[in-house]
Structure 1
Amino acid sequence: MSGGVMDKAYRLRGRVWIEGPDGTFLGYGRVVLLERIREHGSISAAARSMQMSYRHAWKLVDSMNRQSRNTVVEKSTGGRGGGGATLTEAGEKAVAAFWSAYGDFRDFLAERGRQVDL
C-alpha cells in the first residue's frame, strides 16, 4: 500500500534524566543550562539565552548544587563588574555523564525501535 498506513514506521520515543535525592538532578534542559553557564559565564546570561527567567535558572542551579556531592556551579557575587558563575570540575563531569547516558539511551531507542512490528 503505497502512501497508506502500511508505509508509516513507528518510532520509540523517550526521555532520560538522572534522579537525585530530591528528584530530578540532571535532564536535557538542565544540562543545556549548565553548558550555557559555561559559555556565558553567568546564570543570568545563560537564562536569557534560553528565554528562561533568572529566578527559574537560579532555582535549577541551586537544586543541582544541593543534590550533588560537589558543587556543579560556582557563583561569585557582584561588584563593580558584576557577578558570574562557572562550571566546576564536578559540573563538567556531570555534563559529560549525562550526554554519555543520553547517547546510549538514544541508541537503545533506535535499535529497539527497529524491532517494533505492529
Structure 2
Amino acid sequence: MMRLFAYVKPFRIQIVWVTVFTFLQALAQLVLPTLMARIVDVGIVEGDSAFILQTGGWMLGVSAVGVVFSILCVFYASKVSAGFGQRVRNQVFTHVESISVQNFDS
C-alpha cells in the first residue's frame, strides 16, 4: 500500500485542490439550511416578502457556487485518478516486459 503513494506524489497539488474544493462545497451546502431557517424565522413570521426573495436569491447563489466547487473537485479528482492509473499501468507493463521468456512460461 505504501509503495502506491509514490505514484501519487506528482499529483500532490491537485490532491490539495480536491480537498479544498470538497471542503468549500460542503461548506456551501451547510449554509443553505441556515438561510432557510432565516427565511422561516424572519421572512415568513414577519410577512416580509422582500426578505424572503432576497434570502432566496442568496440561496440560489450559494447553490451555484457549491455546484462550481463540486465540478472543480470532480475535475481535479479525475485528473489525479487517471494519472495514477496511467503511472501504475506503465510500471506494470515495464515490469512484465522485463520478465524473461523462461520465467514468463513458468
Fold shared, TM-score > 0.5 on shorter chain: no
Smaller-chain TM-score range? 0.3 to 0.5
**Rg: which structure is higher?**
2
Larger relative contact order (CA 8 Å, sep ≥ 6):
2
More strand by share: 1
Q: If the length of structure 2 is used for normalisation, what is the TM-score? A: 0.44
